[in-house]
Amino acid sequence: METGQLEAFAKQYKQLLESNLRSLVGKLDAPAIIKESMIYSLEAGGKRIRPLLVFATIDAFGMDPKKGLSAAAAIEMIHTYSLIHDDLPSMDNDDLRRGKPTNHKVFGDAVATLAGDALLTYSFEVLGNIPNDSITAETRLKLIVEMAKAAGTEGMVGGQVADMEGEGKSLTLQELEYIHIHKTGKLLGFSVLAGALIAGANQSQIESLSAFAHHLGLAFQIQDDILDVVGNEQEIGKPVGSDTTNSKSTYPKLLSLDGAKASLREQTHRAKENLAKTGLNTTLLMEITDLVASRNH
Amino acid sequence: METGQLEAFAKQYKQLLESNLRSLVGKLDAPAIIKESMIYSLEAGGKRIRPLLVFATIDAFGMDPKKGLSAAAAIEMIHTYSLIHDDLPSMDNDDLRRGKPTNHKVFGDAVATLAGDALLTYSFEVLGNIPNDSITAETRLKLIVEMAKAAGTEGMVGGQVADMEGEGKSLTLQELEYIHIHKTGKLLGFSVLAGALIAGANQSQIESLSAFAHHLGLAFQIQDDILDVVGNEQEIGKPVGSDTTNSKSTYPKLLSLDGAKASLREQTHRAKENLAKTGLNTTLLMEITDLVASRNH
């Protein structure tokens, strides 16, 4: 890929992903309402940053990104289930997500809970069903175990619990990083790892790519916090400053806005530094890093 | 195994299972509260009928039941997650389960939701991590895919949705069976299938064992409905007649109490008939069938 081609790449693979997600849910032999609820949230849009990381990582190895389609779909299902459950009245109690009514506002709390459960469950079936001629059974098992780790108590769920426990408290920078590394970082990291495993990366490439993903995840979260201070309500689809209202610990609060911006530059730099170590054609991954650091929603 | 040895067998493998579950959750590097919440519900007891089916099926092949330990633990995690989510205020809103406060009454709705999510996620990691020298990678993948099917929209979650949609309506016998076959039957069926796959069953054995599990699942549910009419509140740990109060469709309502008892005998007979076809030493599975049909809680 040449520089500046991320936009076309993202458009192409977003379409492929979204059509795959529709088809995967569409073919289920299940009550209509649960399929509608799953598809409603899968189609709610978003940047599809995790699938894009899968595709772009495979592309960096000079391989066909389509090989990552099932993994990308599985990861987006996990991400979507987490949003549905996070939005529930018993959790964050959000009525809007990306400017649309949240799943439970449309389908009710019970169906929303089950749609989340169903997406989480299905994600493992989708990974398990990757055809044998594409990647080995051993690699598929590794993907399944690593996705479970990234999504479970040692990853996303653990981060969510720590986030809830930290509510209303003044957190240290270390505590804040624990939350973000787990709540969002682990699944972002798995997206890159999945691409690397599918592309047949060696151990040293996996290490550099994992370090890249770690810093990218932190950059992602710092920018999220910065946007919450300076963002535009219409663009991010939720009330600006809502984290501040909930007296939530954020990077700008702990580091000042300028300090948070400096930290964002630092994380972005270290992400790219690790990319450079891989010896791969990481143009797209570099562009994704810039996109994450400079996005306005 | 000789006739009448189910009790000792069940006791031995329940202990093994429960110690395995504690150890699997105990070793997680995660916030204490989520581990406590997971263990609270895993240790809430119950008949452990699904793990017992895994162990007894492997035993029928003359193999060491311990080979099924990871699968049994994974299935019990799925079953436990489904109970935690079913009990939530947005679902059945139950305060008691087996005579103990439900998970959300102890840990709150948010942690209970996440503990369910965590158990569901971890179950796939546990299956994926079965050592290679025990069963092949292909068989582990088959277990993962089949467990996801049994637990997802084409299985348990689909049955739960149909159950919710049927609430307050008069269901036909066919609609009632759809609910039970999916809500409880599929995971019971997977328990037997898991044992068969781990033991290396041939196709004809898998078919007979699947038919056995299908009829066993229906027998289980019919007896559940009968107990709800004639049971003892203290013994089953929830208010007797609660299904009737909720104007829920049940077998005794659709078939009369005597009709439901006749149907129970019929399902038990067909379950055993299919067991006999396998040519295996199914003494324990026969005893489990009798236990399911005659249990008083």
> Which letter does DSSP use for residue B213 in this model?
H
Across all residues in chain A, what is the average pLDDT?
Answer: 93
What is the average per-residue pLDDT within B29-54?
96
Q: What is the reported pLDDT for B242?
A: 56
Which tens digits make up the pLDDT trace of A82-97? Answer: 999 999 999 999 999 9
- DSSP string across B111-180: HHHHHHHHHHHHHHHHHHTS-TTTS-HHHHHHHHHHHHHHHSTTTHHHHHHHHHHHTTS---HHHHHHHH
Domains parsed from chain A with CATH numbers: 6-294 (1.10.600.10)
Q: What is the reported pLDDT for A241?
A: 55
Residues B83 and B97: beta-carbon distance below 8 Å? yes
Tell me whether residues A113 and B90 touch, CB distance under 8 A.
Answer: yes
Residues A82 and A113: beta-carbon distance below 8 Å? no
Between chain A and chain B, the number of residue pairs with CB atoms below 8 A apart is: 160
Residue A170: is its pLDDT beyond 80? yes
Tell me whether residues B88 and A91 touch, CB distance under 8 A.
Answer: no
Q: Which residue of B has its CA nearest to A146?
A: B125
Q: Which residue of A has its CA nearest to B82?
A: A117
Name the phi and psi angles at A97, rounded to 5. Answer: -145, 120
Residue B80: is its pLDDT beyond 70? yes
In this prediction, what percent of chain A has a pLDDT beyond 90?
A: 85
Chain A hits for B141, Cβ within 8 Å: 128, 137, 140-141, 144
Q: What is the reported pLDDT for A235?
A: 57
Chain B hits for A149, Cβ within 8 Å: 125
Q: What is the reported pLDDT for B4?
A: 73
Which tens digits make up the pLDDT trace of A26-82? Answer: 999 999 999 999 999 999 978 899 999 999 999 999 999 999 999 999 999 999 999
How many CB atoms sit inside 10 A of residue A203's CB? 7
- Give the pLDDT band of residue B2 (cuts 50, 70, 90): very low
Nearest to B138 among A30, A35, A137 (CB): A137
Give per-residue burial for A160-171: e unless 16+ CB within 10 Å, then b.
bbbbbbbeeeeb
Q: What is the reported pLDDT for B241?
A: 55
Give per-residue burial for B174-183: e unless 16+ CB within 10 Å, then b.
eebebbbbbb
Residue B204: is its pLDDT beyond 50? yes
Tell me whether residues B144 and A121 touch, CB distance under 8 A.
Answer: no
Residue A230: is its pLDDT beyond 90? no
The residue assigned the tokens 């949240």 is A102
Nearest to A137 among B38, B141, B154 (CB): B141
User: What is the spatial distance between Cα B99 and Cα B97, in angstroms, rounded to a whole number?
Assistant: 5
The answer to which of A157-161, A178-182, A281-285, B243-247 has the lowest mean pLDDT is B243-247
Which tens digits make up the pLDDT trace of B113-170? Answer: 999 999 999 999 999 999 877 799 999 999 999 999 999 999 999 999 999 999 989 9
* 3-state secondary structure labels for all residues of A172-231: CHHHHHHHHHHHHHHHHHHHHHHHHHHHCCCHHHHHHHHHHHHHHHHHHHHHHHHHHHHC
Name the phi and psi angles at B64, rounded to 5. Answer: -75, 115
Chain B hits for A108, Cβ within 8 Å: 90
Cα–Cα distances in Å, from B10 out to A105, A293, B69, B197, B228? 45, 57, 13, 21, 25
User: What is the spatial distance between Cα A129 and Cα B198, in angstroms, rounded to a whole number?
Assistant: 19
Q: What is the reported pLDDT for B237?
A: 60
Which tens digits make up the pLDDT trace of B171-196? Answer: 999 999 999 999 999 999 999 999 99
Beta bridge partners of B96: B101
Which ipTM was obtained for this model? 0.94
